[in-house]
Amino acid sequence: MEPHTSRGDKDEDVYEEEDWVVSLRDKEPKLIWMHENTIDKKGAALEREYADDVASLKNELEEEQTIKEALEETFALELSREKENHDRALEMANELKLKNDKLVFINAP
């Protein structure tokens, strides 16, 4: 049988708790470093994801603005052409009306 080693008058559970605290204290710097490292990695990943999202949104906005500008330019050109066509058609209609009125006057009994 092993010789009984006593730690004084303390309860065995108290000794186990003290051993656990000492063990934790020895491991604490490494655990803290590991947790800080994990936090840093996750933080960096979130920052990259955020930066990627911002860049993507910026690119989409630039693309939308380019499309809008192209559509506005196309609209302005089409409107200008339609106004010219309208003006020519109006001129032609006025000329035809004058010719018609002239013919009606000439052919009147």
Domain locations along the chain: 28-109
Above 60 in pLDDT, residue 56?
A: yes
Q: Yes or no: say if 59 and 67 are a contact pair by the CB < 8 Å rule.
A: no
Q: Yes or no: say if 15 and 7 are a contact pair by the CB < 8 Å rule.
A: yes
What contacts 7, CB < 8 A, 6 or more positions away?
15
Rounded percentage of the chain residues whose pLDDT exceeds 70: 75
Q: What is the pTM of this model?
A: 0.50
